[in-house]
Amino acid sequence: MKAAIIYDDFNVAIKAGATLRQSAHQSSLAIEWHISLWRANILKFPPVATEALMDAAEAHLIIFAGACARPIPAWLLNWLERWVTLRQVKDAVLAVVSADGTGGFSLSASSDVARFARRHGLDYISDTGVASGDVLEFLTAPLIGPELAVPAGAYRGWNIN
């Protein structure tokens, strides 16, 4: 499965990626996550935004890590609108995670992302649960659980931009 993490908080992005990888190991399903990270503010620039769009076209999950989607800036909303037309995964899921004040992270609510998901028939995961559709349980359970330690160098080879 493929995930794209759009972040303005690098530490939260790394923890979210590590949690996804950990969830794959703990599930009974044989899943390998292919994760790419994209710093939110560079998606303002057309060449990078296009590269990120091509990369995220096959994403099963897009995670917004940090405060980059609360409220969602117009340029990021534009990027999402373009992604919707290019996406190749019909049942894609959107999620927002943020730092929880204790050094850990948790699911967060973003009414902008939730509205966008509803408008386009996408699933959305928030701190109140799955907002729509039928999402695999292993996507939500690890994000609600305790913080995972991120091993040194865990982000190597993740296409960090």
Q: Which domains does the chain have, with CATH numbers?
A: 2-144 (3.40.50)
The two structure tokens encoding residue 105: 């992270």
Mean pLDDT of 80-107: 81
The two structure tokens encoding residue 112: 């902008």
Q: How far is residue 35 from each of residues 26, 55, 67, 78, 122, measured CA to CA in Å?
A: 17, 10, 20, 22, 19
Give the model confidence (pLDDT) of 28-86 as tens digits. Answer: 667 788 999 999 999 999 999 999 999 999 999 999 988 787 788 899 999 999 999 99
156 vs 41, more confident: 41
DSSP annotation of 146: P
pLDDT at 158: 38
pLDDT, averaged across the chain: 75
Q: pLDDT > 70: what percent of the chain? A: 66
159: left (phi over 0), alpha (psi -120 to 50) or beta: left
* Alpha carbons 122 and 125: distance in angstroms, whole number: 10
Give the model confidence (pLDDT) of 11-30 as tens digits. Answer: 888 888 888 887 766 666 67
Q: Is the pLDDT of residue 88 over 50?
A: yes
pLDDT at 84: 96
Q: Is the pLDDT of residue 138 over 70?
A: no
The two structure tokens encoding residue 131: 């907002």
149 vs 32, more confident: 32
* Alpha carbons 98 and 100: distance in angstroms, whole number: 6
Contact 100, 108 (CB under 8 A): no
Query: Residue 90 belongs to what H/E stretch?
Result: none
* Alpha carbons 115 and 111: distance in angstroms, whole number: 6
